[in-house]
Structure 1
């Protein structure tokens, strides 16, 4: 797992973005990384064929708007960050919040992006803002979706034993050591019959559920694989193997543990993989009761 040397956090002055700022500061302090505080100003310069002089006025207004935005970000940093973090810089740019953030993160070669769970921009989802959702889907590096949660020193890492899952377990292990926290690593077998499979019964289908012996053998094998990986990362952790659907079990386990952070992996950076994310990572980021760190496997 590459060392985290640059963290970029997006703020829009909403409370969720301020929580993201606080958590980004904690990570920057723990990892001795640079913290880049980013704010995107919506693109005010639009084509106006009926009143072309308005385009010129917008262009002249933009520098003053950017100056005011920079000053506002400085005030937020002064108010919400401790005085102990010195490697902080401000970046203000124009554009849609998600695309501007993703562009800037790649431009500065950030190793970690931090966003709030919701913000003022765009339509709000019930539990995850559309900006955060798109950043998770298209980012070139790990993304932390920050939510306030009790700091009980509990971190949950989820693995499905695929290649993208191991960097997530490794990163969870590193954060656990930095915080002197307790790590739990879990795997879900997905062995229980789903509601959909039961619904198929009248049409000749039916639930496919492994027998109890097979489930016990799968549990033992998963437990052994996790133990082996923990030895490789020179860390200790509690191990949990469950039977249900991964996204449901991860959220449930995070709730039971009162976890402050969930860490899980995601696929690589090809266009098809980015678009097709959905699934477990995005569902957990949308519904978890705490912050979620989605770690991307990079080439």
Structure 2
């Protein structure tokens, strides 16, 4: 299986790519080949006298390539110009990628997460399953007198959940898109130890005992499928309320490493119609988010 990893060659992406645990999780997912892509601005000129942009990019990519190859992956490197999400999606389609991976940096553990322009655009337009890998930005702690330890960097990064798929929270509305997302467990079964299956009923159906019983039965049927795949620790959960809020509340309760959900959309204007829930979870979740687009997305 093949993954496309989008890198901006930053320290944050170095942190993700250098995490052996993360790479082992990708291998258990089934990834054995990686296309490493960085997209430069069309306005950046390389090769001009006095410019070392090209050489710096090459050195950084070679470092990341060596790291991935050392963990046993076959690696192809791509340096392209253009609009990042379009070039990333284009490569993913061309190589028939099974997974696209993009880093997502939050501003603060106490603030709503802002996933950045490229990650946001990928959420809206991805044509392949997209993993937003949460990377935390950490500022070294100051002492009471306002000083920091000598040699401490101003900014450090860490992967929020190195065991990418160990605990998965799967949110479903039982739609075709959600069913397509559930199919990801065929790849996740060797990497996932615990799974929570969640359905959120609308607030106006809180008192509908039949609807809740039906949802519980359907979730239990899905849970049985996962147990047959070898994922023994599977729990189900039905909550009532506003969908985004309830998914985020469930996340706080079960502490997953990744939230799995399908996205909605239609044809060429999908970016305008992507489900607000999907984008909100991608923006506000504390953990990794695995988004599966509709079949035939363009």
Query: Structure 1 211/187 Cα, relative in aligned 2: closer, same or farther at 3 Å?
Result: closer
CA deviation after TM superposition for structure 1 residue 100, in Å:
2.1
* Unaligned 5+ runs, structure 1: 46-57, 120-124, 192-208
Instruction: Name which of 167, 181, 187 aligns with 2:180.
Output: 167
Native 8 Å contact 1:165 1:265 kept in 2? yes
**5+ residue gaps in structure 2?**
107-111, 135-158
2:87 maps to 1:94:
no
In structure 1, the residue matched to 2:153 is: none
User: Which residue of structure 2 aligns with residue 296 of structure 1?
Assistant: 293
- SS of aligned partner of 1:146: strand
Question: Which residue of the partner structure matches residue 37 of structure 1?
Answer: 36
The alignment partner of 1:44 has SS state of coil
The 5 A counterparts of 1:93-172 are 93-118=80-105, 126-147=113-134, 148-150=159-161, 153-172=166-185
For residue 179 of structure 2, give the secondary structure of its aligned residue in structure 1: helix
Secondary structure of the 2:184 match is: helix
Structure 2: distance between partners of 1:139 and 1:269: 12
Q: Which has the higher strand share?
A: 2
Cα drift, residue 27 of structure 1: 4.7
* 2:155 matched residue in structure 1: none
Aligned mates of 1:211, 1:107 — CA distance in 2? 46
TM-score of the two chains, using structure 2 as the length reference: 0.76
SS of corresponding position for 2:256: coil
Structure 1 residue 185 corresponds to structure 2 residue 197: yes
Computing the radius of gyration over CA atoms, which structure comes out larger, 1 or 2?
A: 1
Equivalence for 2:63: 75
Cα distance in 1 for residues equivalent to 2:118 and 2:220: 37
Q: How many residues align?
A: 257
- Given that 2:130 and 2:292 are in contact with CA atoms closer than 8 Å, whether structure 1 keeps it comes out as yes
Aligned to 2:8: 12
TM-score with structure 1 length normalisation? 0.76
How far did 1:107 drift?
2.3
Structure 1 pair 19–102 and aligned structure 2 pair: CA distance change class (3 A):
farther
User: For residues 97 and 139 of structure 1, do their structure 2 counterparts lie closer, same or farther at Cα, with a shift above 3 Å needed?
Assistant: same
1:157-202 per-position Cα deviation (integer Å, ceiling 9, x unaligned): 1100000001212214641x212410111000022xxxxxxxxxxx
Q: Which one has a larger percent helix, Structure 1 or Structure 2?
A: 1
Give the equivalent residue in structure 2 for 1:253.
250
The answer as to whether partners of 1:138 and 1:275 remain within 8 angstroms in 2 is no
Moved more, 164-173 or 64-73: 64-73
